[in-house]
Amino acid sequence: MTNDDRATVWHNPRCSKSRGALALLAEQGVQTDIVRYLDEAPSRGELEDVLRRLGTDDPRAITRTGEARYRELGLAGADRDALLDALAANPILIERPIVLVGDRAVVARPPQRLLELLGG
């Protein structure tokens, strides 16, 4: 990672893992842009972009399947399109934190996973 690279963090300030990821980025001296995704829900296109950067096509990679809303919406058997629509409409279902650097991303749970992006 060069000094010109910035990290974008899909952040929930109430989440300890999300706060831990921000602290770790600060310790590493990484400039960070914070996206409070619960306040401004990502579009379906942005979700697709994150999946591409994660190297997966499966929205469950970024879905909080333990959330009550997941059960309320009956998403256990949902297909890819239904899941993406649900994530865009209900950002509480999006796993956090998601850290994006360049054309790569990681779900930073635990926060140390983001070191995969910083190391190259």
Edge-first strand listing for the sheet containing 98-101: 31-35, 6-10, 98-101, 104-107
Catalytic residue among 15, 54, 88, 92: 15
The 3 state secondary structure assigned to 39-55 is CCCCCHHHHHHHHHHHC
Catalytic annotation present for 67: no
Residue whose tokens read 């994530």: 87
Neighbours of 86 (CB within 10 A): 20
CA proximity to 119, closest of 94, 101, 93: 101
* Alpha-carbon span 17 to 56, nearest angstrom: 22
Which residues does the annotation mark as catalytic?
15
